[in-house]
């Protein structure tokens, strides 16, 4: 069964508590939170206070995706409100050391790669990862189209993990819908991030269940 991590980036924050309860009723166990600083990506979203508020109103695990410059500066703060905590390989920190620090703070660790980054670049980091996130759009904005190049990256990562006995989750983020989700899962994705496709759906429960029912 595939895991679903709906992204609140495209949600209506005035009705978010109600929407989260609806997703929980569908069996969704993770929630994706995109933190943007306007430097690493050309957009600004939210920070620790909002995530702390969300934590008080849901039982879902919080999957926090840091799209920020020099993430090492804020790891301790975000670890207090996260279950899964990830940052970008391209953000300019000592990735191996930072992944280990995330684990030491009680969170599951994740490394994220942009569309232009080859998966081979992070092979040596996988022992320190509980999850790898492959961006299938350019990070920073919701509503973009899925980039098929992400599928080959997922295949390479899955093969590397299987060959070396690693069991980390493979997450994909960007342009996930009824057409692209099965392709991503077939390529190796175990966690799907979907924003507008879930939160803007007429029947989000049905959409969520259909995504989680996918399997290779």
Residues 6+ apart with CB under 8 A from 139: 34, 36, 40, 41, 67, 88, 112, 114
Secondary structure, 3-state, 165-182: CCCCEEEEECCCCCCHHH
108-113 and 84-88: which strand pairing?
parallel
CA distance 216 to 130: 21
For residue 24, CA distances in Å to 3, 52, 199 come to: 13, 18, 13
List, by residue number, the catalytic residues. Answer: 34, 173
What is the CB neighbour count within 10 angstroms for residue 12? 11
- Sign for the pseudo-dihedral over CA of 194, 200, 203, 205: positive
Q: Kindly state the tokens that stand for 87.
A: 């940052």
CA distance 185 to 201: 21
Output the CA torsion 198→176→180→209 (10° steps): -30
CA distance 189 to 158: 8
């Amino acid at each position: 069964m595939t895991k679903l991590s709906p992204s609140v980036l495209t949600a209506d924050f005035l009705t978010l508590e109600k929407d989260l309860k609806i997703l929980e009723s569908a069996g969704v166990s993770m929630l994706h939170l995109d933190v943007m600083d306007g430097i690493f990506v050309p957009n600004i979203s939210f920070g620790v206070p909002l995530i702390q508020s969300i934590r008080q109103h849901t039982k879902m695990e919080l999957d926090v995706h840091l799209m920020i410059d020099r993430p090492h500066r804020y790891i301790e703060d975000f670890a207090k409100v996260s279950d899964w905590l990830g940052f970008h390989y391209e953000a300019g920190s000592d990735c191996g050391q930072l992944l280990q620090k995330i684990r030491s703070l009680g969170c599951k660790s994740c490394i994220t790669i942009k569309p232009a980054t080859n998966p081979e670049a992070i092979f040596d980091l996988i022992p320190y990862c509980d999850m790898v996130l492959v961006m299938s759009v350019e990070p920073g904005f919701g509503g973009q189209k899925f980039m098929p190049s992400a599928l080959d990256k997922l295949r390479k990562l899955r093969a590397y993990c299987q060959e070396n006995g690693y069991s980390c989750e493979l997450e994909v983020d960007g342009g996930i819908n009824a057409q692209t989700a099965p392709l991503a899962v077939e390529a190796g994705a175990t966690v799907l991030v979907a924003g507008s496709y879930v939160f803007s759906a007429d029947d989000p429960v049905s959409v969520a269940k259909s995504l989680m029912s996918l399997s290779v």
